[in-house]
């Protein structure tokens, strides 16, 4: 087992948090870090680690904003529409440190979609064609990427802390049945979680609260 590309913390950090002997349980902790990092991404609806060569096809929205899936946007290499590159003067990054939003200087992006053939000629929702291709550098350098020599870590510490809380919870809960919500010894009664997949973040509201700040609504 090794840390995945999207790992949001390091084994040494978890060992310090839990007071564990260095190197004694690397494989287990790597698995928990990978699982916790996936949970963070799934809950926030996006990945956090930095990728310098993202190619993303997106929908225009007949408005000034184009929404990308991997903020923050560090730089844009190109934006093309129907295989033709737009000039760099035609767009700008909007609030780069917070959102994956590109602003159209002209005031509007083109939206291609399917329209109903009746007199209303209204657009069929959810069928817009992704006519723009954006090549860009997005996301944060994580502690793992800094450790690998890719760049200087700039991942917000609260995101790493959310991952660390989840990782610590997974470690401390090892060997327990995650479907059991509560049990009593003498009465022999057991109650079960109806949704095991969401139980970790429901048990750790502090981690969920941190990740709520980084959720981004992406128009697709």
**134 and 160 together in one domain:** no
What are the Cα distances from residue 85, in Å, to 39, 70, 73? 36, 21, 18
Per-residue confidence in pLDDT tens, the chain, 220 aa: 799 999 999 999 999 999 999 988 999 999 999 999 999 999 998 999 999 999 999 888 778 988 898 999 999 999 999 889 999 999 999 876 667 899 999 888 887 655 555 555 555 555 567 889 999 999 999 999 999 999 999 999 999 999 999 999 999 988 665 555 555 545 555 454 544 445 677 778 999 999 998 886 554 4
Residue from 152, 6, 148 nearest 70 by CA: 6
Residue 95 in domain: yes
**134 and 150 together in one domain:** no
Domain residues for the domain of 123 are 51-138
**87 and 156 together in one domain:** no
Residue 6 in domain: no
Residue 104 in domain: yes
pLDDT at 192: 47
**202 and 133 together in one domain:** no
Residue 165 near residue 207, CB atoms below 8 Å: yes
**64 and 97 together in one domain:** yes
Task: Give me the phi and psi of 133, to 5 degrees please.
Answer: -115, 120
pLDDT at 126: 54
Residue 218 in domain: no
Strand partners, 75: 137
**34 and 57 together in one domain:** no
Residues whose CB is less than 8 angstroms from the CB of residue 109 and which lie 6 or more positions away in sequence, other chains included: 60, 61, 62, 63, 64, 65, 66, 132
pLDDT at 130: 84
Domain boundary among 120, 138, 156: 138
Domain boundary among 94, 115, 138: 138
Residue 1 in domain: no
Greatest alpha-carbon pair distance for the chain in Å reads: 73
Residue 56 in domain: yes
pLDDT at 165: 96
**Based on the structure, what is the number of domains in the chain?**
2
Residue 220 in domain: no
217 three-state secondary structure: coil
Residue 4 in domain: no
pLDDT at 83: 82
């Amino acid at each position: 087992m090794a840390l995945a590309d999207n790992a949001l913390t390091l084994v040494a950090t978890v060992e310090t948090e839990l007071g564990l002997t260095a190197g004694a349980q690397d494989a287990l902790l790597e698995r928990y870090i990978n699982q916790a990092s996936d949970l963070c991404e799934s809950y926030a609806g996006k990945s956090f680690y930095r990728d310098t060569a993202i190619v993303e096809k997106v929908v225009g929205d007949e408005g000034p904003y184009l929404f990308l899936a991997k903020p923050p946007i560090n730089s844009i290499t190109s934006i093309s529409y129907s295989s033709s590159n737009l000039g760099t003067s035609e767009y700008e990054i909007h609030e780069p440190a917070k959102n994956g939003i590109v602003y159209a200087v002209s005031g509007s992006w083109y939206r291609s979609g399917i329209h109903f053939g009746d007199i209303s000629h209204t657009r069929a929702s959810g069928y817009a064609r992704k006519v723009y291709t954006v090549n860009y550098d997005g996301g944060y350098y994580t502690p793992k990427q800094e450790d690998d020599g890719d760049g200087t870590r700039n991942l917000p510490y609260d995101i790493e802390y959310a991952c660390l809380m989840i990782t610590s919870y997974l470690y401390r809960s090892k060997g327990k049945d995650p479907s059991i919500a509560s049990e009593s010894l003498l009465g022999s009664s057991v109650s079960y979680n109806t949704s095991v997949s969401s139980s970790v973040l429901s048990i750790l509201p502090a981690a969920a609260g941190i990740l709520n700040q980084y959720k981004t609504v992406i128009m697709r």
